[in-house]
Amino acid sequence: MRSPRRLGDRLFSSGALAAGLLILVVLAAVAIFLVAQSLPALTAGGTDLPAGFTSFWSYVLPLVFGTVWAAVLALVIAVPLSLGVALFLSHYAPRRTARALGAVIDLLAAVPSVVFGLWGITVLAPFVQPFYTFLSAAFGWIPLLAGPVSGTGRTILTVAVVLAVMITPIITALTREIFLQTPRLNEEAALALGATRWEMIRIAVLPFGLPGMVSAAMLGLGRALGETMAVAMVLSPSVVVSFFLLRSENPTTIAANIALNFPDSYGSGINVLIATGLALFVLTFVVNAVARAVVGRRGGGKGL
């Protein structure tokens, strides 16, 4: 009956542990490499940077602004839309078709971002341009919408629309799951009180799903922050801080800036781009951490 601890067991469990530790090593490597390659950029002077910038920080700040601005705009569009779609799939569509319709929305998530970029620039930008002209003419007194309007439609607002289309399936999928988990009893209690369907949703479903909705939105934000190709293709970029939605001069994002400039960069130019990548990494890390904290407080991170 006596035998040492089995060889197979030891090999297998240490193999599994090794794989887990490899992830730790890889992440440490990512951090170390990025930081090491970024250090030269932090002290870079005017000669290492693109023309017109005196220090690394004056270069990266407008990029950070553009990244956050584009992602927030996308979120403003995507969140109400996703909530509507999620509610439609969880509480409005007939039970039997809801699953199939949900799969259709999931198809959006299957489209590669470069195809979204191509679509955004060849279809969406020309399509929305006349609307932009109209918007600026009618509501130009609102500072955000002030002209002169871009003649191509390649503005930050178009980018935000494309990003919104890309993150909508993500936010929808998460919120739909949460809406479906609403305790049946709460819903029936509300209906038994004579509530209409909307009142039931307001009383029972939305309060229950709120933390989940917040974290889904944050995860969508994280995705929008890091999205590269759609922005790089649609936008005609410049490194500026500008809130105007419809003009031809637009702030660009970190990721798009890297993608556009990296192939032609060399030497310290690469270090500068890697340093901006590090800034993006930190930014997404913070956003994702907040999202997880919200979910964590709720006690269950199912499906996230």
Q: Which of the residues 98 through 117 are near another protein (CB under 8 A)?
A: 101, 104-105, 107-108, 110-117
User: 233-257 in b/e burial notation, b at 16+ Cβ within 10 A?
Assistant: bbbebebeeeebbbbeebbbbbbbb
Residues 6+ away with beta carbon under 8 Å from 262 = 270, 273
Rounded-to-integer distance, Cα 66 and Cα 232, Å = 12
Q: Is 214 in the site for another protein (CB under 8 A)?
A: no
User: Rounded to the nearest whole angstrom, what is the least distance from the CB of residue 8 to another protein in the complex?
Assistant: 5
Binding segment toward another protein, per CB under 8 A, in 41-49, 77-85, 145-153, 185-193: 77-85
Q: Is 65 in the site for another protein (CB under 8 A)?
A: no
- Of residues 6 and 297, the one with the C-beta less far from another protein: 6
- Of residues 128 and 244, the one with the C-beta less far from another protein: 128
Q: Which helix (H) or strand (E) holds 250?
A: strand 250-251
- Of residues 243 and 286, the one with the C-beta less far from another protein: 286
Residue 169's identity, in one-letter code, is P
Q: Is 92 in the site for another protein (CB under 8 A)?
A: yes
Strand-pairing partners, residue 238, are 251
- Single out the residue of 97, 188, 262, 300 in contact with another protein (rule: CB under 8 A): 262
Compute how many residues bind another protein; rule: CB under 8 A. Answer: 94
User: Rounded to the nearest whole angstrom, what is the least distance from the CB of residue 245 to another protein in the complex?
Assistant: 19
Going 33 to 37 to 38 to 40, the CA torsion angle's sign is: positive
Q: Is 72 in the site for another protein (CB under 8 A)?
A: no
Q: Is 193 in the site for another protein (CB under 8 A)?
A: no
Neighbours of 77 (CB within 10 A): 17
* Contact of 200 with 191, CB cutoff 8 Å: yes
Rounded-to-integer distance, Cα 228 and Cα 252, Å = 10
Q: Is 182 in the site for another protein (CB under 8 A)?
A: no
- Of residues 54 and 286, the one with the C-beta less far from another protein: 286
Give the N- to C-terminal CA distance of the chain in Å, as an integer: 46
Phi, psi of 94 (to 5 degrees): -55, 140
Residues 6+ away with beta carbon under 8 Å from 247 = 146, 147, 148, 149, 150, 155
DSSP single-letter state for residue 258: H
Q: Is 221 in the site for another protein (CB under 8 A)?
A: no
Q: Is 8 in the site for another protein (CB under 8 A)?
A: yes
- Of residues 1 and 192, the one with the C-beta less far from another protein: 1
24 to 63, contacts with another protein by CB under 8 A?
24, 26-27, 29-30, 33-34, 36-37
Q: Is 299 in the site for another protein (CB under 8 A)?
A: no
- Of residues 141 and 266, the one with the C-beta less far from another protein: 266
272 to 291, contacts with another protein by CB under 8 A?
273-274, 277-278, 280-281, 284-285, 287-288
CA–CA distances in Å: residue 86 to residues 120, 168, 176, 210: 24, 10, 5, 13
157 to 176, contacts with another protein by CB under 8 A?
165, 168, 172
Q: Is 143 in the site for another protein (CB under 8 A)?
A: no
